[in-house]
Amino acid sequence: MKKLSLAIIAAFMNLFGAFAQTEGDYKERSLSLEEVNFVTSYYSQDGNNAAVTGGVGSEQLTDFANQLDLRILKVDKKGRQHTFTGSIGIDHYTSASSDKIDPTTISSASSADTRVYPKLGWTVNNPNTGWSTGLNISSSTEFDYTSFGLGLHVAKASLDKNRELSLNLQAYFDTWRSIQPIELRPPGQKGEDGDDAYTPEPRNSYSASLTYAQVVNKRLQVALMVDGIYQQGQLATVFHRVYFNDGSLRSETLPGTRFKVPIGVRLSYFIGNYVILRGHYRFYNDNWGLTAHTMNIELPVKLSPFLTLSPYYRFNSQSGLKYFAPYGQHAPTDAFFTSDYDLSDFTSQFVGAGVRVHPENGVFGMKNFSALEIRYGHYMRSTGLSSNIITLGMNFK
């Protein structure tokens, strides 16, 4: 039941995916544990446009997220590198607005939740041909939904490693428990803690992502990305209230299909030996009328051979859904309607910095503890929502 704005947590934690990886030789090797990553973060937000209560009310929320990743490598007789990955994530959140699904209770089941999301992957890379293929399987479970995911990855790199074209295909099969606000539930249906079964609502998502990466010269690397995402099923969040201009009340209602097209470009430019400029621009459009422009910039500065400071900044401008209207402004004749400010017009900024230490002899003298990174970020949105996140990442090799 998390707010959509919690997607910022996943994006922030992904920044830790840049830990350097050791290159194995091409001799046959048995299974060996190559890398372990652990990331933990604490996120808090507040605002005054809760979708659960129709676009008004507290958006106060906290989330404590943890993820452990393992990377195992095997090299076969033909020199192909088999990489096996496994991860387990556990998030726990508390939400003031979700507790208002049933405001008659002191604290409903929806006031807090825990999400568990394991993932397994297998990739085969042939350094002699440049071909790489991979599969992944994942799942996610929390109080009101379950999700199962399958993915396929194919990539072809040039023999000089300066160019790579990759295709990622992903499918998620989700099931929602249809939980409506207490006053809109059918007669006799109990609250979240009751014994009555909720109607399962399916939602399927399919995506294809094409990326072309190019090493332009010794200083500049560029990547171009285009995605196509198709969703069908229950795409509205039914416990979000919508109030109309005649005083009536209904659950959020949105179309049963959605098509999204993000297009992006990413570059890394080495400014001398101690500074890297990393930039990213993404354009987003979908058939619900939402358009967004996002720009990121990060400037890692190597203060010493073993210490890096990385300030970063992100700006986002979004034109909201054609189905959005604030509290009490929808017409009763509207076919689709939402008062979720995550889907409204807004601009946002995200600013912060990270500090990464990677001593030659390991962190705290522990040789296998290769890197430690701490990041802090502050998010500001023109609707009044603000949040803070602090993240700790540890890398072991």
DSSP code at position 7: H
Nearest-5° Cα angle at 137, 134 to 143 = 155
Instruction: Look at residues 248, 106, 112 and name the one whose alpha carbon lies nearest to residue 183.
Output: 248
The owner of tokens 């446009």 is: 49
Q: Cβ contacts of residue 374 below 8 Å, gap of 6+?
A: 354, 355, 390, 391, 392, 393
Instruction: Look at residues 117, 115, 118, 178 and name the one whose alpha carbon lies nearest to residue 143.
Output: 115
pLDDT of residue 143: 81
Query: pTM of this prediction?
Result: 0.86
Q: Cβ contacts of residue 127 below 8 Å, gap of 6+?
A: 26, 79, 80, 81
pLDDT of residue 182: 82
pLDDT of residue 20: 37
pLDDT of residue 184: 83
pLDDT of residue 30: 76
For the chain, the structural domain boundaries read 4-19+31-396
Neighbours of 394 (CB within 10 A): 18
- Block means of pLDDT (10 residues each) for the chain, 397 residues, are 46 44 53 92 95 92 96 92 96 81 56 90 94 97 91 94 96 89 74 57 96 95 98 93 95 96 97 93 97 97 94 97 96 96 97 95 90 97 97 95
pLDDT of residue 192: 52
CB 258 within 8 A of CB 287: yes
Topology given in CATH for the domain delimited by 4-19+31-396: Porin (2.40.160)
pLDDT of residue 28: 66
pLDDT of residue 27: 61
pLDDT of residue 101: 75
pLDDT of residue 104: 61
